[in-house]
DNA sequence: GTCTATAAGCCGATAGAC
DNA sequence: GTCTATCGGCTTATAGAC
C-alpha cells in the first residue's frame, strides 16, 4: 500500500488499463506498467504472477463498468425498444469521436492474442460479451419478442462490427448506421400489439 | 532469386503471410520470417526497408484474392440478392471451422496497430474494406435498391462483426446468424417488383 | 511488501565481405 | 543479391536485501 491511500494492486491495474488499451498488449512492457504505477517491477511481480495474469486483471476491471454504461444509455429514456437500443449506438459514436478512443478493449485483445485461444484474458472477454448478449436477450424476451435469442445475437454482431469498422476507418458514422440497422431489426421483430404501431 | 525459381521477395511475403496471420504482427520477429523464407535477415532487409513495410506487403498480398473469393461465392448461383449475400456468410462460417482460422487479417492488424493510425498496413486494410463496401453498394444499386449505400454499410458491419465475434467465442454459428440478418435487411430493401414476392 | 540489481535472451536494424 | 557477424537496446522474470 502506498502513501496515496489507493492500494498498490489497484494502482497497477489502473496503469495497465491506460497503457494496454492505448498501445496494445504486446506493445506495452511490464517495465512501462510498473513505472506508470509508480512501483518497481519486483513489486508488480509480487501482486501478479505474470504479464498474462496482469492482462486478465486489466480486462476484468473493464467488465462491470462497461456493462453498466450500456444499461445506463438504454434506460435514459423509455421511448421504446428500438430507440433505446439505437441510443447505445449513438452514445458509442460520440465516444468514438474522442481522440483517445481505440475501439473495444475486449475485441482488440482477442485479436492480438488470437494465437492463444485459452488465454485467461480471452476467457474474460468472451464472458463479458456473453453477459451483454444475455442482457439483450432477456430484455427482448420481456418485451414479448419471440426470436429474442436470435435478435440479441444480431444486435451484438452489429455492435462489435461497428467497433471493428470504426477503428479501421476512424469514421464514427458507421456506428450510427449500425444503430439504424439495429432499430430496423428490432422493430420488425416486435409484436404488433403494445402501442407500437407497425404496418397498421 | 533462389534455386526454387520463386523470386526471393515473393517467398518472403509468403512466409510473412503465414506467420503474421497466425501469430500477429508483434508476435512475429523479422528473424522468424527470414528463417521461414529460407533467407538471412540481411537479405530480407535488402527487399524491405523495415518490418512495417513487410507488414504492409503482407496485407497487400491478401487484398485481391480475398475480394475474388467473396465475388465467387456470391456468383455461384443466381438465386436472388438476399440468398447470394447470405451465401458469403455461410461460406465464411465453413472457413471459420478450420482449426487454423484466426479471423480477418485486416481487422486483426488494425486492432493490433490501433496506436499507429497512419501505419501503411492500416491504410491498405481500410482500402480493402472500402473496395468490398463499394462492390456491395454497386451490386445493390444495380438491383434497384434505393438506399444501396446505407445497406452496403449495414452488411459490412454484420460481416466484420461476425469476424470479431467468431474469433472471440470460437463459434462460427454467429456467422450464420449474421447471414440471416443480412438476408432480412436486403429483402426489406428490395423493390417490390422484379419477380421477388414480398408482402404481396 | 517494496526495494536494487541482474539474468538470459530476443528485438529491429546495420556493417562490410563477396 | 546474398552472406556472416554484431550492435545497442529492450524483454519477461528472478535473486536477495530490508
Looking at residue B199, its pLDDT comes to 46
Residue A179 CA to residue B26 CA, distance in Å, equals 34
pTM of the model: 0.95
Looking at the predicted structure, is the pLDDT value of residue B198 above 90?
no
Residue B65 CA to residue B156 CA, distance in Å, equals 18
The nucleotide whose C1' lies nearest the CA of B37 is D2
Other Cβ atoms less than 10 A from the Cβ of B86: the count is: 23
Looking at the predicted structure, is the pLDDT value of residue B200 above 70?
no
Chain B residues near residue A181 by CB distance under 8 angstroms: 154, 157-158, 181, 185
CATH topology of domain A60-197: Tetracycline Repressor; domain 2 (1.10.357)
Residue B168 CA to residue B162 CA, distance in Å, equals 10
CATH number of the domain at A1-48, out of 1.10.15.40, 2.30.110.10, 3.40.190.10, 1.10.10.60? 1.10.10.60
Interface check for B102 against chain A (CB to CB < 8 A): the answer is yes
Q: Which of A114, A160, A165 lies nearest to residue B165, judging by beta carbons?
A: A160
Looking at residue B147, its pLDDT comes to 96
Sorted by where each begins, the domain ranges of chain A are: 1-48, 60-197
For chain A, what percent of residues have pLDDT higher than 70?
Answer: 94
Which tens digits make up the pLDDT trace of B140-160? 999 999 999 999 999 999 999
Interface check for B169 against chain A (CB to CB < 8 A): the answer is yes
Across the A:B interface, residue pairs with CB atoms under 8 Å apart total 148
For residue B132, which of B115, B107, B108, B111 has the smallest C-alpha distance?
A: B107
Amino acid at each position: 500500500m502506498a502513501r496515496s491511500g489507493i492500494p498498490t494492486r489497484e494502482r497497477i491495474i489502473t496503469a495497465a488499463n491506460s497503457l494496454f488499451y492505448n498501445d496494445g498488449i504486446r506493445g506495452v512492457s511490464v517495465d512501462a506498467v510498473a513505472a506508470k504505477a509508480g512501483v518497481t517491477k519486483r513489486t508488480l511481480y509480487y501482486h501478479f504472477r505474470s504479464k498474462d495474469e496482469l492482462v486478465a486483471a486489466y480486462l476484468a476491471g473493464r467488465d462491470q463498468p462497461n456493462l453498466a454504461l450500456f444499461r445506463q444509455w438504454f434506460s435514459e429514456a423509455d421511448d421504446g425498444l428500438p430507440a433505446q437500443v439505437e441510443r447505445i449506438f449513438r452514445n458509442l459514436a460520440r465516444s468514438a469521436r474522442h481522440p483517445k478512443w481505440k475501439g473495444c478493449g475486449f475485441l482488440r485483445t482477442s485479436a492480438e492474442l488470437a494465437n492463444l485461444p485459452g488465454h485467461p484474458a480471452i476467457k474474460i472477454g468472451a464472458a463479458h460479451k456473453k453477459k451483454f448478449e444475455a442482457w439483450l436477450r432477456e430484455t427482448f424476451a420481456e418485451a414479448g419478442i419471440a426470436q429474442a435469442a436470435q435478435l440479441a445475437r444480431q444486435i451484438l454482431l452489429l455492435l462489435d462490427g461497428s467497433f471493428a469498422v470504426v477503428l479501421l476507418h476512424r469514421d464514427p458514422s458507421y456506428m450510427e448506421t449500425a444503430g439504424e440497422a439495429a432499430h430496423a431489426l428490432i422493430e420488425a421483430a416486435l409484436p404488433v400489439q403494445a402501442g407500437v404501431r407497425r404496418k397498421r
